[in-house]
Amino acid sequence: MLNRRALAMLRAVGAGRAELTCSCEPDLRVDGLPCCDQATAHDLARAGLIRAAGGPVVAVGQWTAAELTDEGLLALDGTPAAA
């Protein structure tokens, strides 16, 4: 079960307000500001709920748009993405 902070982070990603660094432990920023709980951001990425959005290839350590995975959408609202 996700706590309120993790759900808020998922909502920000779903709203297109978040970016991730390209790394195995990606950092998250929302509205251009660093997230206050990077450990939770790492947990969300490791759990496969968020990822770097598809698009141009970005170098390791660079920022790129974040997006929810199908699992992230399901965790957020219980509705799987349309196939």
Residue 52 included in any domain: yes
Question: Which pLDDT value is given to residue 24?
Answer: 86
Residue 40 included in any domain: yes
- Please state the domain count of the chain: 1
Residue 28 included in any domain: yes
Domain that holds residue 69: 4-76
- Give, in order, the Cα–Cα distances in Å from 7 to each of 1, 4, 73, 75: 10, 5, 11, 8
pLDDT in tens, 25-44: 999 999 999 999 999 999 99
The pTM assigned to this predicted structure is 0.87
**Whether pLDDT at 83 is above 50:** no
Residue 81 included in any domain: no
Residue 31 included in any domain: yes
